[in-house]
Amino acid sequence: MRRILLLLLVSCSFLSAQWKSIGNVDSVSVEGNSVLLISGTSQVLIQVLAEDVVRVRLAPSGSFREHTTPAVVNTMSPAQPPKVTQAEGLVEIRTGKGMVVAKKNPLRLQFLENDGTVINEDDPSKGMAWDGPEIRIWKIMPFEEQYFGFGEKAGRLNKKWTHMTMWNSDIPAYRADTDPLYESIPFFYAIRDGRTHGIFFDNSYRSSFDMGKASGHLYSFGAAGGELNYYFFFGPTPGSVLKRFTELIGTMPLPPMWSLGYQQCRWSYYPESRVREIADNFRKRSIPADVLYLDIHYMDGYRIFTWDNERFPDPRKLIHDLGVQGFKVAVILDPGIKEDPDYHAYQSGLSGDHFLKNPDGTVYIGNVWPGPCAFPDFSSAAARTWWGDQLKLLSDIGIRGWWNDMNEPAVFNEPAKTVPLEVLHHDEGRLTPHEKNHNLYGMRMTQATYEGVRKLLPDERPFVLTRASFAGGQRYSAAWTGDNIASWEHLQMSVPMCLNLSISGQPFVGPDIGGFFGNPSGELFARWLQLGVFMPLMRGHSVIDATNKEPWEYGKEFERINRQTIELRYRLLPHIYNQMWIAAETGIPPLRPLIFQYPGDPEIAAREASVQNAAMEFMFGEDILVAPVLWQGDKTRSLRLPDGVWYDYWSGIRYEGNQNVTVPAPLDRIPFFVKAGGVIPTQPVMQYFAEKAVDPLTFTIYPAERSIKTYYEDDGVSFGYQEGQFRRKTIRQDMTGAIQSLVFSEAEGSYEPAARSMIVRLVAPQAEGKIVGRASAVMVGSEKLPRVQPSRAEAAVRGWWVDEVSGTTNVKLPDLKEEIRIVVEYAK
Ligand code: MIG
């Protein structure tokens, strides 16, 4: 009986969904870059922001909301005003790179290429609709179209046929089909026949995307409240979509270079003797590392901004000593402030009115680690400043990493497990319910943290790491993918998860290496660490009750392998840093799915649409293709090489693209390939960032008929680069017959690294699996460079030599600010 009643109730509430779709257009008005369409009491506003960006807004009752979310921070306006023409039953808006056609009866939008091809269109029957506060749009889902992005989502790369919710949630030990997760980025790419467009749904309420799960020929997105407000990016490539998206929401600031080193965490390293032991082990075993973390046990009863005096009697001294050993220390910061009248942060937060409040005006209290807690209202500028000021207690004693956890926000109280929807947020003076602010809480916490640290340490780049965030969060913080599991499946899942997050505007990402829950085998840990070399964030972490997961915990052989893996990371740091610089400048991240870079390759498109996670390959920058080993026991790796010519990094073997290859993948190696024309800068292994000067700086050059690359460098820590203190060189390579010429342009910028050598390693030209030429003469400018014995190379200041086995030509010179021209002649 109760069941039947329940069923009845459920079906009634389903039937009560009364979607009202927008109807016929009564009038049209054009003003500047905007077209306003009026339909009864409803309005639709189409704004052309650029020749390839259009914003669409719906106001069911006729008034647009003043504010949407803090995601978009930049304005855009088109160089040319759009051309608007009206014809029988429709309005046509030409934006430059495309066209929007608004059909009037009823109002439905189409997005077209200039040649008239429809690339996106509202569903003729439903279109834009509302039901009370809920809003939703249905669009036609072409059979060939695939969908990527959507921020932090587990499961396959391609999100077609899935239903996803955006509601920041703490789900420990999530699975491939768990949704939602910690972070919400309501943005996606639609790729069809090599053509891409993108949509950003700028709404912070609980939203959902149904990409063909409810219907086989429609997709839809909508939210429980707020405005139906989306940005349409015409593309036509994924890169052009992402560039525009990040123009609106901002790019990641350049991170401190030490945050790209290896980071070691666990829940929790304590007391201080254990922290020192971990630090000593890294140095004693010569395993490079830059950052150590303190998880929740460093605090006095989990009170943020305090120390447990027994476990950490002298944190300043500890951090100082670790600093001498080359470590930066990061601490966890949870938002919950213990409700304790004797606790300074509770007192000052309360007296400053910085906490979230119930509708009746009392402070909202929820349970987290410290017990009952108040929660800072990060949506108020004053509260953010208050939070930032508290960080002084930590920055003063040397803390340099700021780990923001539990900021979905996670609350232990059932059933919501978060702040109740009606709790009020300041919302910059608007006083709005949690419902609107929930998905923004994490991002605003990182904003408070980032801006606080910026103020306290004005000459250093902050490093903030977060679990929860929203579109635009990359402006303040890196992100990790939460509480995963030490299993092969989770290793596999971490690849598409980080790729989608990366192309959603957040370049600085990585999973807990080794898996958070459970105990990995030596093999699983080693493979995960290898994948970590090509994750912008390379951090090992572990839950409280698991075995130790430091790189030396799996026996001698794995210790050797893991050391070698982390050494590879440190060798590649100049390259990794360059890729992060590109992301900071252009929005294009290091981590990219193959389809992001090769959207027009039908084989790649087909593979990425359906591929199992374990078979994933990905790009790290435009020149490195990574094929991680993600299956237990595998000692070879099969993959498809996209168009072009590729060199196996390990063997130097040259491969033509557009074919499937199988390469060796012994336990101590992650297969990766460099594209012909690629220039990979590397440095000598060091135990931590700036342990010593980068000398020599090595450029490995993979031959191609012609390529032009940029090399960027600065001090890695300050904001001096914003005042021109950087060094930037263009590297041009040409290969004509048996002559290879290289030009390292004169350096731009005022940054002067210490005097050092530069080694140019020229991978030998090959044909049909054989080296076709060995260098016979090397000219630098107009001088003939002396040939030196390989055994004398290290002592030589200027000279060249050939590595007998690989045929690689090495050219060693003092690294200069001035232009350097090198010409190599090859003998047959
Ligand atoms: O409720 O601080 O995801 O990385 O170690 C668990 C303890 C709270 C969750 C984080 C995890 C961290 C843990 N935290």
Give catalytic residue positions.
405, 408, 483
Compute the distance from residue 517 Cα to the ligand 1 centre, in Å.
11
In three-state secondary structure terms, 235 is coil
Compute the distance from residue 405 Cα to the ligand 1 centre, in Å.
7
pLDDT score recorded for residue 24: 98
Bridge partners of 220, per DSSP, are 138, 210
Q: Of 152, 182, 404, 406, which is best to mutate to test ligand 1, by the most ligand atoms within 8 angstroms of its C-beta? A: 406
Residues with CB under 6 A from ligand 1: 267, 295-296, 332, 405-406, 467, 482-483, 541
What is the position in ligand 1's atom list of the atom closest to the CA of 483? 3
What is the position in ligand 1's atom list of the atom closest to the CA of 541? 4
Secondary structure of 512-562 in HEC code, one letter for each residue: EECCCECCCCHHHHHHHHHHHHCCCCEEECCCCCCCCCCCCCCCHHHHHHH
Compute the distance from residue 525 Cα to the ligand 1 centre, in Å.
20
| CA angle in degrees (0–180, nearest 5) for 62-64-66 | 150
Compute the distance from residue 234 Cα to the ligand 1 centre, in Å.
40
Helix or strand (DSSP H, E) at 95: none
What is the position in ligand 1's atom list of the atom closest to the CA of 516? 4
Compute the distance from residue 268 Cα to the ligand 1 centre, in Å.
10
HSE (side-chain half, CA atoms, 13 Å) at 621: 27
Residue with CA closest to ligand 1 atom 13: 267
Compute the distance from residue 544 Cα to the ligand 1 centre, in Å.
9
Measuring CA to CA, which residue among 706, 784, 772 is closest to residue 741? 706
What is the position in ligand 1's atom list of the atom closest to the CA of 368? 1
What is the position in ligand 1's atom list of the atom closest to the CA of 512? 4
Compute the distance from residue 580 Cα to the ligand 1 centre, in Å.
27
- Cα 320 to Cα 323: distance, rounded to the nearest angstrom: 5
Measuring CA to CA, which residue among 457, 480, 386, 688 is closest to residue 567? 688
Structure tokens, 704: 């191609």
Compute the distance from residue 506 Cα to the ligand 1 centre, in Å.
21
Compute the distance from residue 179 Cα to the ligand 1 centre, in Å.
19
What is the position in ligand 1's atom list of the atom closest to the CA of 334? 2
Residue with CA closest to ligand 1 atom 11: 483
* Contacts (Cβ under 8 Å, ≥6 apart) of 717: 256, 257, 258, 460, 461
Mean pLDDT by runs of 10 across the 828 residues of the chain is: 46 64 98 97 98 98 88 95 96 98 98 97 98 97 97 96 97 96 98 97 98 97 97 98 98 98 98 98 98 98 98 98 98 98 98 98 98 98 98 98 98 95 96 97 98 98 98 98 98 97 98 98 98 98 98 98 98 98 98 95 88 84 97 96 96 94 97 98 98 97 96 98 98 94 98 96 88 92 96 94 93 97 93
- Cα 170 to Cα 589: distance, rounded to the nearest angstrom: 26
pLDDT score recorded for residue 262: 99
Going along the chain from its start, the domains and CATH numbers come out as 20-249 (2.60.40.1760), 257-586 (3.20.20.80), 611-670 (2.60.40.1180), 693-827 (2.60.40.1180)
Compute the distance from residue 181 Cα to the ligand 1 centre, in Å.
14
* Contacts (Cβ under 8 Å, ≥6 apart) of 775: 762, 800, 802, 809, 824, 825, 826, 827
Structure tokens, 5: 């009643």
What is the position in ligand 1's atom list of the atom closest to the CA of 332? 2
Taking 3-state DSSP, the helix, strand and coil percentages for the chain, each rounded to the nearest 5, stand at 25, 30, 45
In three-state secondary structure terms, 259 is helix
Compute the distance from residue 467 Cα to the ligand 1 centre, in Å.
9
Pairing relation of β-strands 509-510 and 478-480? parallel
What is the position in ligand 1's atom list of the atom closest to the CA of 267? 5
Q: From residue 502, how far is each of 240, 408, 534, 618, 679 by CA, in Å?
A: 15, 19, 12, 12, 23
- Cα 407 to Cα 136: distance, rounded to the nearest angstrom: 27
Q: Of 171, 266, 267, 373, which is best to mutate to test ligand 1, by the most ligand atoms within 8 angstroms of its C-beta? A: 267
What is the position in ligand 1's atom list of the atom closest to the CA of 544? 5
This prediction has a pTM of 0.96
Compute the distance from residue 161 Cα to the ligand 1 centre, in Å.
32
Are 809 and 775 contacting, i.e. CB atoms less than 8 angstroms apart? yes
Are 427 and 413 contacting, i.e. CB atoms less than 8 angstroms apart? no
Residue with CA closest to ligand 1 atom 8: 406
* Contacts (Cβ under 8 Å, ≥6 apart) of 176: 154, 155, 156, 489, 493, 613
Q: Of 171, 368, 405, which is best to mutate to test ligand 1, by the most ligand atoms within 8 angstroms of its C-beta? A: 405
Q: Of 483, 544, 549, which is best to mutate to test ligand 1, by the most ligand atoms within 8 angstroms of its C-beta? A: 483
Compute the distance from residue 306 Cα to the ligand 1 centre, in Å.
18
Q: Of 295, 467, 537, which is best to mutate to test ligand 1, by the most ligand atoms within 8 angstroms of its C-beta? A: 295
What is the position in ligand 1's atom list of the atom closest to the CA of 266? 5
Are 784 and 756 contacting, i.e. CB atoms less than 8 angstroms apart? no
Helix or strand (DSSP H, E) at 416: none
Compute the distance from residue 34 Cα to the ligand 1 centre, in Å.
47
What is the position in ligand 1's atom list of the atom closest to the CA of 405? 10
* Contacts (Cβ under 8 Å, ≥6 apart) of 362: none
Q: From the centroid of its chain, how far is CA 559?
A: 29
pLDDT score recorded for residue 16: 56
Compute the distance from residue 388 Cα to the ligand 1 centre, in Å.
22
Backbone angles phi, psi at 398, to 5 degrees: 110, 0
Backbone angles phi, psi at 723, to 5 degrees: -105, 25
**Max Cα separation, the chain?**
96
Residue with CA closest to ligand 1 atom 12: 267
The alpha helices in 63-118, defined as continuous H runs, are: none
For the residues of 690-733, what is the DSSP string, one character each? Answer: TSS---SEEEEE---SEEEEEEEE--SSSSGGGGT--EEEEEEE
Residue with CA closest to ligand 1 atom 6: 406
What is the position in ligand 1's atom list of the atom closest to the CA of 467? 3
| CA angle in degrees (0–180, nearest 5) for 14-18-20 | 150
